[in-house]
Chains A and B, each alone.
Chain A
């Protein structure tokens, strides 16, 4: 019974928290930008989430006549499915984890790569120029940042001697990995932002340049799925950062699950702060930044970690 219940509860909680995050983001941005944010519906504007849901569900579900209908419909589903699948391997606490793959880390990388298809297919099937630009940018950006993301994590794997996320957390009882793997954390964080295409790496949907990028033609809940997918991505990346570099559920006094959630919330807030603060680089600048700085950095990190590990043996 609990084998089915736990994943279901986690699923519902995740979807709810992704929806809630839309409210949190707007309120927190409001706080930082000397304004209120949504505060009319319900206490503290909390029911804004419900209002938005109603709006999204009741909007006309429009498929442009010039779009490739099947792919157009499938694309938003991919991102949401992939992001939700990603949570299966997250060890929320020592007891709470849906599956513990031996190669959980690789599974995460695979999942995040697959979500590129969502953006790419959405852009191509829309058959609109702005969407096409978004898709092109997204594909190039995500494929290149994938490389450093994977490479940056190899240091963690070397230190913990395992691809299993649970083992990685267990290996951090003495020392959290962000200290020995500081470079990797930096690269992973940046790549993670790029993967979830959040500002300042939101070039695939840069509204000032290409209107809304790959989801220009989307409306109603299909748009909502991209939206929720993006927020799920933010949560997933934050959880991965906590798991890989900040000791997962480890922490004194408080219960492990709470520690995990608190740390995750901190990084989610950091993501939002980043969006509030930075301008957007240009597409070619983003690419050259990736290949010229991120790649060498992650390679150096990998080599140093490997060398130190060998030395210590």
Chain B
């Protein structure tokens, strides 16, 4: 499998070399599956254009982030610089992503925007401005996105303090308070909207951040004409906790519980890309049993997350009961998760090199009971919700987008498959042994709210199928790899010989040290593609952790698909996107 990847990587590189000048490309070797190339700032745009429109068809701007390189100690194979930008492109045809890196110099560098190439670059660039202070020239609306407008400093810069205790005490004087109050005022001009048109004055409605249907703390400023939406400006950041900054302070192992809280409905699903990235870096082969346990639990959490989606989706459309039934069912599944992991929503149960514990005795009985119980319930909900004519009227044809639009905006997951594109990482680039399971990828055609829900409902059925296969074919063997970087290392042996005991002690107290490398692992998470890009500078903490969450670009698309619709349609769209704000804001 690794060989095929390498071949694909090499093939793309040769193709690019033929098209571009040798000197403008600089290949960086890493353990990562993605092809990593350094390009100069001036070459970037033609390069991106070629990748997007050329034969390679890299249609999606998968991720865009920056690194503060000023404290880096190891520069193997990469140019020295102060900051670097990473443009990560994804193609649904290739198995290999492309990372384009651009080196920037200076304390507060600036560069050209690429919002004219990809609309979803808008928020990514705003995030970089917010977090690093890197300016994007010609950006349509370059302002803070995750931190409040009155915020001082750029948190992901290395000189910015990690903890509040490293900063002077917080004070709010009158002047500052007045400034904060002023910042709360809504001015449509700030969002590029006007107060009136030739025919009418618009109403501005502040939907959120505490509105019953925005699923957390999410605000949309709506420009309305009656109940018709002229424009919308999503405002995020209310749930920002600086997870990426925290990652630079915690040990590699110690960051695992934080990942659980990124997509707080995904549970261990969040651990998976993180630990897989570390395993790739440390070159750990995860035993089959651990892989199977991981897949099984991830699919459980996919079902749990989809259940909540299903319930809230119907609830936002005014149907009262479905969510209660689904919560009852969730409770049953949570009982199983609890029996296996000891926790319910945030087990943090995966470890570098395996899982925390072996499965308890009797786990299969509980799970089998649930597998026999749930499909009949799903059929019932089909009648209650999916076949309900009012629900259909509210959702069919609402919030539609095409496959091309979806790729343009970086939409992944069920939202992408609802447009008819068969792209699921579990099939397209199998990880953690997904190639061994028999399941289908449900597809719909219209890309509207109804289809997004339908795809997820079918995915629950497929997940049940996967879990049953895990149950029937659970391999025996260790649940953790015997590798020095496995944390915590296999316990039995650490009591027998001094070498493993030292390793055990170091891993637990200091945390494992990862080799200098960089890696990006993406998985098909509950809400779309979730990826962790880890940069190690050869220490026990991460140099930079980038968490690409699916919900972030999904929210960015809301204005695009809700213009011209009515207020209740917007609620249906929000419900059908299936996001959690923790996943957006990190």
**Residues of chain A having any CB pair with chain B under 8 Å:** 29, 32-35, 129-130, 133, 199-200, 202, 206-211, 275-285
Q: How far is the CB of A123 from chain B (nearest CB, A)?
A: 14
Our pick among A29, A35, A281 for the contact of B394 (Cβ within 8 Å) is A281
Residue of A nearest to B312 (CB): A208
**Once the chains are docked, how many angstroms separate the CA of A199 from the CA of B213?**
17
Q: Are A206 and B318 in contact (CB under 8 A)?
A: yes
* A-contacting residues, B322-381, CB 8 Å: 324-325, 328
Q: Is B403 in contact with chain A by the CB < 8 A criterion?
A: no
Chain B 556-586 against A: per-residue CB contact (8 Å), 1 yes, 0 no? 0000000000111101000000000000000
Of the four ranges (under 10, 10 to 19, 20 to 34, 35 or more), the interface on chain B belongs to 20 to 34
Cβ-neighbour of A209 out of B203, B314, B391, B567 (below 8 A): B567
Q: Which residues of A contact B571 (CB under 8 A)?
A: 208-209
Query: A278 with B566: in contact, given A129-B203, A211-B212 (CB under 8 Å)?
Result: no
Residue of B206, B212, B227, B318 touching A280 (CB-CB under 8 A): B318
Shortest Cβ distance from B209 into chain A, in angstroms? 13
Offer 19 A-B interface pairs, CB within 8 angstroms, sorted by A. A129-B203, A129-B206, A130-B205, A206-B568, A208-B315, A208-B316, A210-B567, A211-B212, A276-B320, A276-B321, A277-B319, A278-B319, A279-B314, A279-B319, A279-B385, A280-B568, A282-B394, A282-B569, A283-B566
Whether B568 and A283, one on each chain, are in contact in the complex, defined by CB atoms closer than 8 angstroms, is yes
Give the residues in chain A near B6, CB-CB below 8 Å.
none
Q: Which of B314, B319, B385 has the most CB of A within 10 A?
A: B319
> In this complex, what residue of A is CB-closest to B569?
A282
Docked pose: A206 CA to B317 CA in angstroms:
10
Residues of chain A contacted by B568 (CB below 8 angstroms):
206, 209, 280, 282-283
**B320 to A, closest residue via Cβ:** A276
Q: Given the complex, which residues of B lie within 8 Å of A35, measured CB to CB?
A: 324, 328
Question: Which 3 A-B pairs have CB atoms at the shortest separation, nearest pair first?
Answer: A280-B318, A33-B324, A279-B319
**B390 contacts the other chain (CB 8 A):** yes
B388 contacts which chain A residues (CB < 8 A)?
278-279
**Most B CB atoms within 10 A — which of A129, A209, A278?**
A209
CA of A33 to CA of B394 in the docked complex: distance in angstroms?
23
Q: Which residues of A contact B319 (CB under 8 A)?
A: 277-280
Cβ contacts under 8 Å, A133 to chain B:
227, 567
Q: Which residues of B contact A284 (CB under 8 A)?
A: 566
Would you call B23 an interface residue if the criterion is a C-beta within 8 Å of the partner chain's C-beta atoms? no
Residues on B with C-beta less than 8 A from A129 are 203, 205-206
Residues in B neighbouring A209, C-beta threshold 8 A:
213, 567-568, 571
> A29 touching B566 by the CB < 8 A rule?
no
Smallest Cβ-Cβ distance to A130: which chain B residue: B205
The CA-CA distance from A37 to B106 in the complex, in Å, is 62
CB-defined contacts of A285 to chain B, threshold 8 Å: 393-394
CB distance B390 to A277 under 8 Å? no
Cα–Cα distance between A200 and B324 once the two chains are bound (Å):
18
Q: Determine the distance from Cα of A74 to Cα of B448 in the docked complex, in whole angstroms.
A: 44
Give Cα A242–Cα B403 distance, bound, in whole angstroms: 54
CB of B74 within 8 A of chain A? no
Q: Which of A33, A34, A202, A280 meets B317, CB within 8 Å?
A: A280
Chain B stretch 116-155: residues in CB contact (< 8 A) with chain A: none
**Is B495 engaged at the interface, CB distance under 8 Å to the other chain?**
no
Measured between alpha carbons, how far is A130 from B567 in the docked complex, in Å? 11
Q: Distance (Å) between the CB of A171 and the closest chain B CB?
A: 36
Contact B211 A200 (CB under 8 A): no
Q: How far is the CB of B398 from chain A (nearest CB, A)?
A: 9
**Which single residue of chain B is at the shortest CB-CB distance from A129?**
B205
Q: Which residue of A lies closest to B323 (CB)?
A: A33
A29/B320 in contact, CB under 8 A: yes
Query: How close is A250's CB to chain B, nearest CB, in angstroms?
Result: 34
User: In the bound complex, what is the Cα–Cα distance between A207 and B213 (angstroms)?
Assistant: 8
Known: A129-B205, A199-B320, A209-B567. A279 touches B328 (CB 8 A): no
Expressed in whole angstroms, the Cα–Cα distance for A209 and B568 within the complex equals 6
**A278 — which chain B residues lie within 8 A by C-beta?**
318-319, 388, 390
Which residues on the B side are within 8 Å of A210 (C-beta)?
Answer: 567
| A134 CB → nearest B CB, Å | 11
A208–B320 alpha-carbon span in the complex (Å)? 11
Q: How far is the CB of A26 from chain B (nearest CB, A)?
A: 12
A34 touches B211 (CB 8 A): no
In the assembled complex, the CB of B377 is this many whole angstroms from the nearest CB of chain A, namely 11
Distance (whole angstroms) from the CB of A129 to the closest CB of chain B = 5
Q: Name the residue of chain B whose CB is nearest to the CB of A285.
A: B393
Bound complex: CA A83 to CA B274 (Å): 61
CB distance from B332 to the nearest CB of A (A): 11
The complex places the Cα of A277 from the Cα of B314 at a distance, in Å, of: 11
Residues of chain B within 8 A (CB-CB) of A202 are 318
